Amino acid sequence: MARLLTVLLLLLVLGAVALPAVQAQGINMYVIFHSRGGNISEYNWDNAHFHVNRVSLGAGCGHEAHFRLCFSGSATLGVDYNVFSNSGYLQPNGSCVTDKFSSGHSNYGFYIRPMNDAADEPNETVTVTMSQDSGNPFPSGYYFPSRYCRATFRIIDND
C-alpha cells in the first residue's frame, strides 16, 4: 500500500511537471504490485494479502490488461497453501495463475491461505512474482516497474 501511495503522491506533487514528460514517452498507465509480506500461520488460517493495481495517468482504464502471478519457494501450491482472489479460488496452471484487469477495473486483491495439516514440518516460504502474461502483453503505453513485482511470505507450522 505504501508503494501505491508513494507513486500517487509523486504523481500529484509532480503531476504538472512530470506527467507531460512521462506521457511524451508514451506511458499512460502504471501496473503496481504491493504487499506487506511477512508471516502467516497454519493454525488460525491467517491470510497473506497482496494487491495488483493499475494507475492511470489520464488515459483511463478502458481496456483489458493481462498479468501473471507465479508462486515459488519451499511451500507447494495446492499442498501447503491455496490462492484466492476477491472472486474466489484461483485454479493454477502449474505454479502460475494468469488474471486480467477487466475494462474499467484498476485494483485486484489476492490472498494466500495456508492449509492446516497434521504434518510436523519446518516453516516454509512462498514467493509471489508478478509479470506480464507472455501470450497477452500489456497494451501500448503501460509501464511495469519490475522492481515492485515480488513479495515473500513465511508459513509458520503449528505442529
Which CATH number goes with the domain that contains 78?
Answer: 2.60.40.2030
The predicted pLDDT at position 17 comes to 42
Helix (H) or strand (E) holding 72: strand 65-72
Return the C-alpha cell found at 120. Answer: 510436523
The predicted pLDDT at position 45 comes to 67
Record the pTM. Answer: 0.72
Q: What is the pLDDT of residues 56-95, one digit of tens each?
A: 766 666 677 778 888 999 998 888 888 888 777 777 777 8
47 φ/ψ angles, rounded to the nearest 5 degrees? -120, 135
Are 154 and 39 contacting, i.e. CB atoms less than 8 angstroms apart? Answer: yes
How are beta strands 88-89 and 29-35 bridged, if at all? unpaired
Q: What is the pLDDT of residues 90-142, one digit of tens each?
A: 777 778 888 877 777 778 888 888 988 888 889 999 998 888 777 666 666 67
Number of domains in the chain: 1
Rounded distance, CA 4 to CA 18, Å? 17
- Which residues span the domain enclosing 8? 2-156
The predicted pLDDT at position 125 comes to 92
Q: Which of 25-29, 31-35, 56-60, 117-121 has the lowest mean pLDDT?
A: 25-29
The predicted pLDDT at position 129 comes to 87
Per-residue pLDDT, averaged over 21-49, amounts to: 67
